[in-house]
Amino acid sequence: MQDFATARRMMVDGQVRPADVTDLRLIDAMADLPRERFVPAASAGLAYLDIDLPVHATATASSRRMLKPMVLARMIHACDIGPEDTVLDVGGLTGYSSAVMAALAGSVVSLDEDAELSRHAKANCESLGIVNVTVATGPLTAGWPAAAPYDVILVNGAIEVEPQALFDQLKDGGCLVAIVGSGPATKTTIYRRSGSDVSGRPIFDAHAALLPGFTKVPAFVF
């Protein structure tokens, strides 16, 4: 039987800490949370590797992948989540990223458009006694206006178009972080809202699968 506690410690020491993640609350959350519980049983042995990990047991939706630990940690760290913050996790999958942020925030909405993944997210959080995560199911591009505005919005994957509906759900002073672009030139970008204006800047290179609904429509070429 694999020693998941050791694998978790090696993940934090070998992937998260060297990536300039210094928030001890975040480090402790990732060191404590059993990541193997959030992936298909057959993939549990891969849960702590430095890879984007499929979250479906079958190939029916193989493009939906859990971000690699280092990338997720750096994205969360960039948001500087406070203990009273309200967070929207767009593309929450089986709930891992939401559970990590629940250790930092006041409340988290885990949104996914895949009902099967939402069921897993709800069951995972309940089984671990995480009470400040609400699981919602709906189109990722629409966000979750019912609990808006948010201090932080984490987009769990890559996008090719600006998420205007998500920007509209940010509080004044709030931030949104996403992996922007396609192919090898994608960059994690952090956006901040000031009044009615939203501005973004790249913070590090990263790659992830494109999220449903955020793909750029191909231009017609004569």
The residue with tokens 């509209």 is 168
The residue with tokens 């090719």 is 160
Strands 197-205 and 187-194: antiparallel
The residue with tokens 């922007």 is 180
How deeply is 59 buried, as exposed, middle or buried, from its count of CB atoms within 10 A (0-12, 13-18, 19+)?
Answer: exposed
Residues 122 and 95 sit within 8 Å (Cβ to Cβ):
yes
Strands 86-90 and 187-194: unpaired
**Shortest CA distance to 157 belongs to which of 136, 135, 178?**
178
- Residues tagged active-site: 62
Inter-helix orientation angle 24-32/4-11, to 10°: 150
